[in-house]
Amino acid sequence: MTEMRRFEGHGVLISGAARGIGAATARRLAEEGAQVLVTDVDLAEAERTAASIRERIGACAEAFVCDVGDRASVEAAVAYAVDAFGSLDVLVNNACGCTPDAPLFEDEPDEVWARDLDLTLTGAYRCCRAALPHLVASGRGAIVSIGSVNGIQDFGNHAYSAAKAGLTSLTRTLAGHAAARGVRVNLVAPGTVRTSAWEGRDADLAAVREVYPLGRVGEPEDIAAAVAFLASRDAAWITGTTLCVDGGLLAVNTGFRQAVRGHGDA
C-alpha cells in the first residue's frame, strides 16, 4: 500500500470501475485517501470492488450503477457522488466498448461503429459534461481519461481506435476550455494491459510481450499509478497532455531491431 495521501478528502467518480484498470484505479486513489464511487453497468461486481476497498483499505468506497451511454444515468451518478462525498474533485473516464473488427472493413455494421464510439468517446463526453460544474466548484478539479495506444498508432479495431483518438482530441479541447476555470484535463494511453479481456489467452499475451521493449505487458496497477499522478497536485502544471504508459511500445520498434540484430543498425 502506498504511503502517499494526495487525495485526502477528495470525492472521486470512476466509470467502468468494476474490474481491470478501473478497479485498480479505485483502489489506488482510495489508498491515497480518496472517497471513491465505483460505477459500472455491472452493479454486483461494482459492489464487490467497493466492498473489497472498504475491507482491505478501510477507505470510503461506494458502488453505483451507471451506463455512460445514457445521459440520465450519468447525471444520477454524478449527483450521487456529490451528495455522498460533499464534492466531486476527480473524474476518471474508463468505460469503453471494443468490438472485434469484421474480416473486411466494408462489412463493418453501422451499429458496431456507433456503439463503440458512443461508449468510448460520447460516454466520456457525457461524464465530463455532467461533472464539470462540480469539478470547477471544488477548486481542485481534475479529469483523467483512459485512452489507448490504438488512438495513436495502428493496432487494429477501427471503431475503438477512432474513439480513443477522438478522446485524445477531446482531452486537448476540453483542457483549453476548462483551464481558466481551474480544472485540468489529461489522458493516459496504455499499451497491452493484463485484464479480463485476455483471460484464457496466456499464449497470446506471451507473444505480445515480445514486442515490448521493457519485456512485459502492463498490469492494471501500472495505469492506476499514472492516473493517480495526473489527478494529483504533483501534476498541477500539466493539462491537455497524453501520457503513454506502454512499456516503450510507441518509442521503440522492437520488431525492426530484432530483424537487424547481428547485421548492424539501420
Q: What is the pLDDT of residue 94?
A: 98
Better-predicted residue by pLDDT, 262 or 131: 131
Q: What is the pLDDT of residue 264?
A: 55
Q: What is the pLDDT of residue 190?
A: 98
Mean pLDDT for 100-127 is: 95
Lowest mean pLDDT: which of 104-113, 136-145, 186-195, 251-260?
251-260
In the predicted structure, residue 25 carries a pLDDT above the cut 60: yes
In the predicted structure, residue 144 carries a pLDDT above the cut 80: yes
* Exposure string for 53-86, b = 16+ CB within 10 A, e = fewer: beeebebbbbbbbbbbbeeebbbbbbebbbeebe
Q: What is the pLDDT of residue 201?
A: 87
Say what the pTM is: 0.95
Q: Which three cell numbers stand for residue 216?
A: 512485459
CA distance 150 to 72: 30
User: 7: closest CA among 64, 90, 93?
Assistant: 90
In the predicted structure, residue 228 carries a pLDDT above the cut 90: yes
Which residue carries 450519468 as its cell? 74
The mean pLDDT of the chain is: 95
Domains of the chain with bracketed CATH: 11-260 (3.40.50.720)
SS (H, E, C) 240-262: CCEEEECCCCCCCCHHHHHHHCC
Which residues does the annotation mark as catalytic?
A: 160, 164
Amino acid at 198: W
- With a CB cutoff of 8 Å and minimum separation 6, the contacts of 219 are 24, 193, 194
Better-predicted residue by pLDDT, 262 or 225: 225
Q: What is the pLDDT of residue 256?
A: 79
Q: What is the pLDDT of residue 4?
A: 85
Q: What is the pLDDT of residue 262?
A: 59
CA distance 95 to 87: 22
> What would the pLDDT profile of 61-107 be if each residue is shown by its tens digit?
999 999 999 999 999 999 999 999 999 999 999 999 999 999 999 99
SS3 assignment, position 229:
helix
In the predicted structure, residue 200 carries a pLDDT above the cut 90: no
